[in-house]
Structure 1
Amino acid sequence: MQRLRIGRALGAVLAGTLLLGTATACGSEDKTGSEETVVVDITVEGGEITPKGDRVKVSAGQPIDLVVTADTAGSLHMHSDPEQEFAYEAGTKTFPISIDRPGVIEVESHDPPQIIVQLEVR
């Protein structure tokens, strides 16, 4: 009996979520559907960058925000097709991206030379 109640409650929640998703999708130009934005926090402080080569799984076309918080100006380089470079100043800057093709895309720094994150696109 308890399973039935949980099942009904879960069904109601899912139905409500689907209705909400459908209502918010109407008239929207967002082609990614209900996929949430993946946020990758990158910190540049005292010549050190974190993360250090972490792998992040994302879906093809899923929105990604590279959020850089830095104590000095610099740039990120993304090994994609086409390759991209993102310059930033001291402070916080967000770079919205998405990747359409499956594969592993490296985001790196040239100064200091380091792979910051690997985006595993499925």
Structure 2
Amino acid sequence: MVSIAGGTVTPTNGQAQATVGKPIVLQVTSDDADQLHVHSIPEHTFSIEPRPDQTFEFTVDVPGQVDIELHDLNRTVVTIQVRP
């Protein structure tokens, strides 16, 4: 769960693991609009709205390290280690 409130992001610089081709789901609650960028192959961008309980789902096709960042707040939310 990602929370954005008053410009504060929780968590920041989190760590997680995933598997290539398996769905990764992020749940976001925010009081402001932003964009969530997933730096993976393929790349993904999601528009965050100022509302609770938003769900974003994606897959990653190539193993490695994937950073998920908030564009406007310039914060890394989580780095996912994607295994084959």
Give TM-score, length-normalised by structure 2: 0.88
Question: For residue 3 of structure 1, what is the aligned residue in structure 2?
Answer: none
1:120 Cα deviation (Å)? 0.6
**Larger strand fraction of residues:** 2
Q: Which runs of 5+ in 1 are unaligned?
A: 1-40
Q: Number of residues paired by the alignment? A: 82
**Larger helix fraction of residues:** 1
Q: Which of the pair has the greater relative contact order for Cα pairs under 8 Å at 6+ separation?
A: 2
Q: Which runs of 5+ in 2 are unaligned?
A: none
Distance 1:117 1:63 in 2: 16
Matches within 5 A, 1:1-122: 41-91=1-51, 92-122=53-83
1:100 Cα deviation (Å)? 2.2
TM-align CA RMSD? 1.1
Give TM-score, length-normalised by structure 1: 0.63
Who wins on radius of gyration, i.e. which is larger? 1
